[in-house]
Amino acid sequence: MRLLKFTFLFLISSIMVYSCKKEKPIKDLENRDPIPFNFIIPAGMPPMFIPADNPLTVEGVALGRKLFYDPVLSANNTLSCAGCHRQNFAFADSTLQFSVGITGATGTRNAPALFNLGWEKKFFWDGGAATLEDQVIGPITNPIEMHDTLTKVIAKLQKHSLYPPMFKKAFGSDSITTKLIMKAIAQFERTLISANSKYDEYKQGKIKLDEQEWNGMQLFIGEKGDCNHCHVLGSTFTDFEFRNNGLDSVFADEGRYRITLNPDDMGKFKTPTLRNIALTAPYMHDGRFKTLKEVINFYNSDFHLTATLDPNIALQKRGRLNPIEINDLIAFLNTLTDKDFVSNVNFSKP
């Protein structure tokens, strides 16, 4: 059944190529329409939802990329989005447990990796932002992050020599607004696609997994390892749901509950993707685990039983995985690293 579904997804995504056919005679380079971004969904990934009012364009993506790397978005012009989301760590924040904002303050959540965001349904660990566009405001105005105000950011961009013409090219207006900043950054973020790991090559029949990796994959999908219920094998490696995976008996961070105030959501967090997981340590919403071994030891024996614990985890026997199996699982997780993604020059500082 699962295999069938993958084959189907493979077929539709292979024909989903957004092409740029709309051509007009170019009279005036300054005033021409933005060029649709030639966006190819890799084989094996589902179709991506792109909001009708923010189609990707070459100029919009270029502007979003420039903004993402520009510390001008922070109050003292020292910290860009990329200051906490670094490409060589799949856009997570180096090995820091908590990122450092412009005042030196730190938060209580670990900076997540940024890729395949076009498939996510909600943003932040607790899903507090409903769209990728909405998410952009959070870090810019957050006092422990970039600590700026939108009015000041807009004033800085408006009198910058490069930005007004870039906004004009991307959106037809050089009058900079919060909405346009949100749109541009979201466009760039949607281009951050990662689906070219060893696992993907294996899935496409190009290579074989070695014995240890193969065994790890069987554990991953089987009842014994039981990772697949939430970190669904195949394309995005997440179910996009909020779950309590058993980290705590008392919740220092209430997670999804903070947003919904529904007691059933106590201690639930967004299931993160496991793609590029070898690059994004430390792990969990609060970065409490330094290594994948610590993560698997936790799932193997240290989970806490609480009212909202996911039923799949509550059913598990403690100590079910032996040390060889733990290493097999890690070997499989290591096949999810996409080296092309972290070295792709289209995503680096422009």
Per DSSP, the residues of 313-334 read HHTPPTT-S-HHHHHHHHHHHH
Sites of contact with ligand HEC (CB under 6 A): 68, 73, 79, 81, 83-85, 99, 101, 107, 109, 111-112, 114, 117, 120, 123-125, 135-136, 139-140, 145-146, 185, 225-227, 229-231, 243, 245, 247, 269, 271-272, 274, 277, 280, 283-285, 292, 295-296, 299, 310, 312-313, 329
Q: Specify the residue for token string 């690059």.
A: 279
Q: Which is nearer to ligand HEC, 57 or 99 (CB)?
A: 99
CB of 331 to ligand HEC, least distance (A): 12
**CA-to-CA separations, 287 to 67, 91, 247, 323, in angstroms, rounded:** 27, 15, 12, 23
Residues 102 and 79: beta-carbon distance below 8 Å: yes
Q: Which one, 10 or 260, has the nearer CB to ligand HEC?
A: 260
Give min distance, CB of 32 to ligand HEC, in A: 28
Residue 195 Cβ vs ligand HEC, minimum distance, rounded to whole Å: 16
Q: Which is nearer to ligand HEC, 44 or 112 (by Cβ)?
A: 112
> Minimal distance in Å, beta carbon 26 to ligand HEC?
32
Q: Helical H runs in the chain?
A: 2-15, 58-68, 81-84, 132-135, 137-141, 150-158, 163-171, 178-190, 198-203, 211-221, 257-260, 292-297, 311-314, 323-334, 339-343
What are 92's strand-pairing partners? 86
| Minimum separation from the CB atom of position 310 to ligand HEC (A) | 3
Please tell me the distance from the alpha carbon of residue 222 to that of residue 122, in angstroms, as a whole number: 28
Closest CB to ligand HEC among residues 35, 177 = 177
- Write down the least CB distance from residue 11 to ligand HEC, Å: 28
DSSP bridge pairs for 39? 18
Compute φ and ψ for 39, nearest 5 degrees.
-110, 115
Question: In the complex, what is the shortest distance from the CB of residue 15 to ligand HEC, in angstroms, rounded to a whole number?
Answer: 28
Please say which residue, 35 or 350, places its beta carbon nearer to ligand HEC. Answer: 350
Task: Determine the Cα–Cα distance for residues 155 and 177; give it in Å rounded to an integer.
Answer: 10
Q: How far is the CB of 123 from ligand HEC (least distance, A)?
A: 4
Three-state secondary-structure class, residue 117: helix
Nearer to ligand HEC, 41 or 219 (CB): 219
CA distance 240 to 171: 31
Going by C-alpha positions, the residue among 183, 181, 114, 112 that lies closest to residue 148 is 181
- Our CB check for ligand HEC shows the closer of 229 and 304 to be 229
Whose Cβ is closer to ligand HEC: residue 10's or residue 214's? 214
Please, what is the end-to-end C-alpha distance for the chain in angstroms?
A: 44
